[in-house]
Chains A and B, each alone.
Chain A
């Protein structure tokens, strides 16, 4: 409803126009309004929810191989999925992405945004902001390729730098070590999303009320850390909530970084659900299994995002 609310001036104009014409035309306006909104509504209903339902239906049918087979087989493919070791590795990895990807990005972005707003770096703010924003302007394909060069254990940038500085103990196999590989991938994600996160947080710093509060806190002699945690944090909830939602969704649907940098390897140790979905559907030709995996991704998103959104809206409008 909020979305359809017209600002007063515009609605006044519409009213004036309605009065100016011979007929009141309220009925006609209503129909017109309805028609205008019908198209996007249908698009959302058919394309989004229709496909969602379709995917769910495929996941309980028996489509394997190249030709569709819509025979109903119940939970057969889900049962198979739960038997696969790869599936559980994927679920674990998706959770790692969620925990290690979202929290640190939020925290580091908050610190950087605060430094840019408050500290003596203010003069350089525009330069630094451009610098931080650059990663966000690149596609994952590009960042992925660049970072694989960085991580390459033999000749990669990072290990070469460590060797040059005689800090050999810092050398590591990065994405070739199955135990830590996922975390190195998450680091790319953090790097990529940091810029946009800083911008969103900065914009929420810039309300007049908040500025006044910070000024008075400074005059009162509060320390900078105290200002950050006790004055700023409680007052930028809106920005934090939007940013958190954005990051959670991006971390859940991650595919491109894995595809470009490790292709799920070594073995399938960096695999995630979205990547397995791609492999199952188009490489293994187990379309029903792929659809089942999509449903699992959807449910995970649902479980994480819905409570978050409900909470967010409550806080926002309270």
Chain B
């Protein structure tokens, strides 16, 4: 009798805690070193405002969200979504919207007046058919050229801002240090090659061309710009680290630190990597956006959070999204993680490194110079994945005509024109 009573009491307590607890079930891929600290910072800010909420993370290891997407996709298809999950803006977000997994957040955007505090291209990247679907918390910039500052000083070089300057600098480095690759690159995950190619495209065609190309509005087969860009990419090959296909992006940045390479074209997240290797921004390495001709365009993608349709705790999720949009949250998280602030009303001086200070300042004064990059892409996922493969393969087998015809095929095969029609720029 007595025992039965105890069991009853325990059960009542258990049931009580289950129902009383306010939970936030969240999927994110910031689990690796450096990014883990950013995730902790972000939950810290949230906990500070909502100490009663229990955060249930379901982090799956693996950068860029490769493994996370596998788990998330099966959970969504099975009808057991988390409350909120990390997604990039652009094509990835669109795939969730098309699947009907996200709730539009137009009211929240109005409540926060979010559209007026972030750059317009950033708002466009998470707006599909007039509805805002997620809250972006940062912007990663793709086209940044990092260089070994001491080496550049030693050889009397200026950081290249155009393709011809890049070739010139590369030649000088190669002459002075025959054992060194002027440009580091790691194409194991393929997208890294597309980063370099994007920069060339941007210089050859300019921003309007770039957007039109990835919206599928250009006939690649007859397009002189695309052909020219490929030829320029081919000319660059002798200056690129030859065994790029074995390296991931961080290993390729490692080549710059170890002195095997002089420069690397990588996103803002590389700053964090250089720091963990003990390199001081502005002292050991520095960066310029590349190219700066004909215009200084920043290719970007945001990390964002949205509200799941059928979220188990929608109230908590809304509290989370309000926090994500706040200045305090973005300052702590973005400074740790490596991107720029999504809000342009935050003082750029919060960044400890001169590189991001300068970039944030530029974005603040020129919020219209942002275009979606390869990760939060304009073109659909199905296209970009195979596009990366072809561009990475081009580096080992630089056949211009064949590459043009297979890229042209892909634009048709993955019906890029229809799938990318949602994107508006400027």
Q: Residues on A close to B: CB < 8 A?
A: 64-68, 80, 83-86, 148, 151-154, 173, 175-178, 262-269, 279, 282-286
Contacts and interface: CB of A to CB of B under 8 A. Distances in A.
B188 A86 contact: no
A264 B243 contact: no
A268 B190 CA distance: 9
B382 A265 contact: no
Contacts of A65: 95, 98-99
A200 B187 CA distance: 40
A260 B213 CA distance: 33
A271 to B, nearest CB: 8
A292 to B, nearest CB: 14
Contacts of B390: 267
A247 to B, nearest CB: 27
B396 A68 contact: no
B63 interface: no
B242 A284 contact: no
A176 B241 CA distance: 12
B260 A264 contact: no
Interface in B240-259: 242-246
A271 B295 CA distance: 38
B260 A284 contact: no
Nearest to A269: B393
A270 to B, nearest CB: 9
Interface string B154-181: 0000000000000000000000000000
Interface of B: 66, 69-70, 73, 76-77, 95-96, 98-101, 187-190, 242-246, 260, 381-382, 385-386, 389-390, 392-397, 406, 409, 413
Contacts of B409: 83
A176 B77 CA distance: 38
Contacts of A284: 381-382, 385-386
A80 B99 contact: no
Contacts of B69: 282-283
Contacts of B381: 283-285
Contacts of B76: 66-67
A286 B413 CA distance: 12
Given A66-B101, A265-B188, A285-B95, A151 B246 contact: yes
Given A176-B243, A286-B382, A266 B187 contact: yes
List 9 tightest A-B contacts by C-beta distance, closest first. A267-B393, A67-B99, A66-B99, A266-B245, A266-B396, A284-B382, A265-B245, A153-B243, A268-B389
Given A152-B243, A285-B95, A267 B413 contact: no
23 contacts: A65-B98, A66-B101, A67-B76, A86-B386, A86-B389, A153-B246, A154-B243, A173-B243, A175-B245, A176-B243, A176-B396, A263-B188, A266-B245, A266-B396, A267-B389, A267-B390, A267-B394, A267-B396, A282-B66, A283-B381, A283-B385, A284-B386, A285-B381
A286 B73 CA distance: 12
A107 B246 CA distance: 31
Contacts of B189: 263
B396 A80 contact: no
Given A66-B76, A283-B381, 14 more contacts: A86-B389, A153-B246, A176-B242, A176-B246, A176-B396, A262-B245, A263-B188, A264-B389, A265-B393, A267-B397, A279-B385, A284-B386, A285-B73, A285-B381
Given A176-B245, A176-B246, A284-B382, A269 B406 contact: no
B96 A66 contact: yes
B396 A178 contact: yes
Contacts of A282: 66, 69-70, 73
A178 B399 CA distance: 14
A257 to B, nearest CB: 14
Residue from B244, B260, B392, B394 having most chain A Cβ neighbours under 10 A: B392
A188 to B, nearest CB: 14
A194 B242 CA distance: 33
Contacts of B395: 266-267
Contacts of B385: 279, 283-284
A199 to B, nearest CB: 33
A153 B397 CA distance: 18
A99 to B, nearest CB: 23
Contact of A266 (B66, B77, B386, B392): B392
Nearest to B412: A83
B348 to A, nearest CB: 35
A64 B397 CA distance: 31
Contacts of A86: 386, 389
Contacts of B396: 176-178, 266-267, 269
A135 B244 CA distance: 28
Contact of B100 (A67, A148, A266, A268): A67
Contacts of A151: 246
A267 B246 contact: no
Nearest to A267: B393
Contacts of B99: 65-67
Contacts of A285: 73, 95, 381-382
Contacts of A152: 243, 246
A176 to B, nearest CB: 5
